[in-house]
Chain A
Amino acid sequence: MAIRVTRSHRSHGLACASLCGALASSLAAGPAGAQEAAGALPVFDAHVHYSHDAWEVAPTAEVIALMRKAGLRSALVSSSDDEGTQRLFAAAPDLVVPSLRPYRRRGEISTWVRDPTIVAHLEERLRRHRYAAIGEFHLYGADADLPVPRQLVQLAKQHRLILHAHSDADAVERLFGQDPDARVLWAHAGFERPERVGEMLRRHPRLWADLAFRTDHAPGGQLDPAWRAAFEAFPDRFMVGTDTFTPERLYYIPEHASWTRGWLSGLPAPLAEKIAWRNAEALIAPVWQASRERRLSGTEAARCVQAARAPGATRLEAQQVVLIYRTQPQPIRVGERFSVQAALCPRAGAAAVEGLAIDATMPEHRHGMNYVPVLRADGADAWIADGLLFHMPGRWRLSFDVRMAGRSERLAAELDVR
């Protein structure tokens, strides 16, 4: 009779966050580390998609195998919809770093900027999963100042995430105009000339650029002099990516990594390493680690306090988390459906909440409810369960199983129902 919501990264993400110091150290121990041992230059592929039409063509395990074969140290993955990213992440949390696209399906590339429902989609995914970035999104010129992109920027700011922007220089300027502290990963380096890319990097210290789907920096595998100058001028700001925008391109990941190693061999080894993986890791890994270990933000803590002040709110405490709940309607009447609103507040230093299960039993009767309620998210670490019904009078035990760091902690309330 329990209802349960779990976060798909539960078995890996938080465990790793607590066990691993930095993302780099966790990755070095994985299969990608074997590649490094074999001598191949590791590659952080900062531009991978695994959208809904790819799942059948390229099963998750096969995509991970392609990444391993390519010697990827890590991959920043974003998908339309986000489910593809979560599948890859669940299969290889040591390899995959999730990024959240503002697209539910392919085909929203050009419509999302004027679609207010996108914001709800982003908020819902941000409640359910952890990410290092929001993107890759397509945004050009003045569209960046439309309400939906503005809200996207604010969500990234609120969650302290990188913006992965497939944009022209104008839109990048507008993103920084909205949030000067944003970290922007400029997809494809905007398909701009190296001189223009250099100007932008000089102007914006918190701008990085991926070189996905470009060959002009190394035509025929040989470094272009102007691009070489840009790499030398901004050695910490460039990274590489495949851009798997069709299912078939997932099979290009090994080829792309090999090509990347080829042209990077024309650079001094320290600079080649930076572009191959160190720059991406320096930008993305700290954000990702912080996201996985995310504590309650000030706003969320305030919301938890606010929930506790609501009429009829009940506070339950456990070692790692505080839970505040209230029922609607209240009091609960026998034979009448009711809802439970629950807000979870992990204690300082505790791991993030991975999932919640709600159940109710009559201990004396040794049975529970006759209905399976529906649980839905209601903001960060907050849920609403609908459709509960106590069909007999007496003492009921309403229990909440909170899953954190791979373990459950139970909180319970005793209710006398008449």
Chain B
Amino acid sequence: MRATPGASRRANGALALAAALAIAAALATAPAANAEPSTAARAANEFRADEFRADEFGVDEIARIVSHGPWPPPPVRDPSNRASGDAAAIALGQRLFSDPAISASGSISCASCHDPRRGFTDGKARATGLAAHDRNTQGLLDAADWRWFGWDGGADTLWAATLRPLLSPQEMGSDAARIAARLRRDAAAMRVIEPLFGPEPDDEALAVAAAKSIAAWVETLRSPRTAFDAFRDALARGDAVQAARYPVAARRGLKLFVGPGNCGACHVGPSFSNSEFHDVGRPFVLAPGRVDPGRHAGIRRVQADRYNLLGRFNDERGAAPERSRALQTRTVVLQHRNWGEWRTPTLRGLRDTAPYMHDGSLPTLRDVVRHYSELDLDRLHADGESLLRPLKLSSSEIEDLVAFLETLSPSPRGTMAGAKEAPTR
């Protein structure tokens, strides 16, 4: 909480901030689970300058901050998955998620790598299923918002991304017959599946049904609200008292995030991800003589996948071609720049999902920020991602950015301690 000297300055600052917020709120058009306050309500809650420094954020900055909410977004259903939103299928999916019987060894399940206590990751640099994996385990929270799945976007639906590790020899090593046998022994499961997927489904249809059921549950997993969300809503509402509770270091970090860092160019919207692919200058050599091609391989994989949105297992019916989900898979184009690109990860819940990047090569958030601070431009094509420039942050700025990122996790510790939720109206 900072005080600004002088009554007139306070008044001017308050007016300026109120005007900025009005513009910013007008720009925030995302549908909200928690409805945005009306203009009248915002006016009634005009900031008190002695609670929150009026000139701390400019109009553009506030608009950018407000664009990262509200949170959580309303539930979404996946039209390609007939189990999406079905309560029985969701319950079945939750059960199968932790069921090792669907793996080849009978010893591992989805939850073996996607541990809910770790934000549905495993804490390892690179995953280990039945064999060593080349990539870091991604968290599953907020997966309903994604357009592509996996670091390389090798799947175009959450259910296809679920089926892949089930069948991958590296991960769970299962096959359709094994999964089908497991389900056929489970009368309760069949009572859920047959009404949805038809009577007496064959092995492959049952394996797809299992994946779709698991996906139906995963898409209900939402990151909890955070100190940032409370601050963001306070800005949108014009509530200086609540805004002032957001830690000062996090506010400085947020200012870097939406300002010179321009991080929101890729980490967009409430889920802090554009669900697209970028080369951010991280190496992608797996071992001498072996590289991970990233998105380049992902596009090839999704195009060749019999379970993609262009295949017969897509449940979306009746949508105009230009509005169907399959459009993304029909129109995606392989480009040279895709070699070594990775999906933009969410920034929510990072406290629980270390280590970071596609290969888990950065142990801490501080390392991630340092990477962007000292970005090696020579690793990027001269006519490639012009957005990326070394931020050249001071040590205190690095700490501020980390402080901000930590407020995107629902931690009772650290920078979250002083933050309180305020009801949105």
Residues of A within 8 A of B (CB): 56-59, 62, 80, 106-107, 109, 138, 166, 188, 191, 213-215, 219-221, 242-243, 245-249, 251-252, 255-256, 259
Contacts and interface: CB of A to CB of B under 8 A. Distances in A.
A243 B336 contact: yes
Contact of A191 (B291, B335, B379, B383): B383
A246 B383 contact: no
Interface in B356-381: 377-379, 381
B283 interface: yes
A56 B283 CA distance: 13
User: What DSSP secondary structure best describes chain B's contact surface?
Assistant: loop
A188 to B, nearest CB: 7
Given A248-B283, A248-B285, A255-B296, A213 B337 contact: yes
A246 B379 contact: yes
Interface string B321-351: 0000000000001111101100000000000
A220 B336 contact: no
Contacts of B289: 58-59, 62
20 contacts: A57-B283, A107-B377, A109-B377, A138-B382, A188-B383, A213-B337, A213-B381, A215-B335, A219-B333, A243-B336, A243-B381, A245-B379, A245-B381, A245-B382, A246-B283, A248-B285, A249-B339, A249-B340, A252-B296, A255-B339
Nearest to B289: A62
Interface string B270-291: 0000000000000111001111
Contacts of B377: 107, 109
A58 B42 CA distance: 60
Contacts of B284: 248
Interface of B: 283-285, 288-291, 293, 296, 333-337, 339-340, 377-379, 381-383
A59 B285 contact: no
Contacts of B288: 56-57, 59
Contact of B378 (A107, A248, A251): A107
A207 B290 CA distance: 37
Contacts of A259: 334
B217 to A, nearest CB: 36
A252 B381 contact: no
A56 B296 CA distance: 23
Given A188-B383, A215-B333, 11 more contacts: A62-B289, A213-B336, A213-B383, A219-B333, A245-B379, A245-B382, A248-B283, A249-B340, A251-B290, A251-B291, A252-B339
A214 B335 CA distance: 8
A54 to B, nearest CB: 10
A252 B333 contact: no
Nearest to B340: A248
A109 B335 contact: no
B31 to A, nearest CB: 34
A248 B339 contact: yes
Contacts of A214: 336
Contacts of A56: 288
Contacts of B381: 213, 243, 245
B359 to A, nearest CB: 12
A391 B378 CA distance: 52
B421 to A, nearest CB: 45
What 10 pairs between A and B have smallest CB-CB spacing?
A106-B378, A248-B291, A215-B335, A251-B291, A57-B285, A252-B339, A213-B336, A248-B284, A220-B333, A246-B379
Nearest to B300: A255
Nearest to A215: B335
Nearest to B287: A57
A137 to B, nearest CB: 11
Contacts of A57: 283, 285, 288
A138 B380 CA distance: 14
Contacts of B339: 248-249, 252, 255
A215 B336 CA distance: 7
Given A188-B383, A191-B383, A247 B296 contact: no
A70 to B, nearest CB: 14
Given A57-B288, A248-B285, A109 B334 contact: no
A138 B290 CA distance: 30
A213 B334 CA distance: 12
Contact of A247 (B285, B334, B335, B337): B285
A215 B340 contact: no
Nearest to B381: A245
Contacts of A191: 383
Nearest to A166: B382
Nearest to B339: A252
Contacts of B291: 248, 251
Given A248-B291, A249-B339, A255-B296, A215 B382 contact: no
B378 A252 contact: no
B336 A246 contact: no
A166 B337 CA distance: 17
A326 B290 CA distance: 54
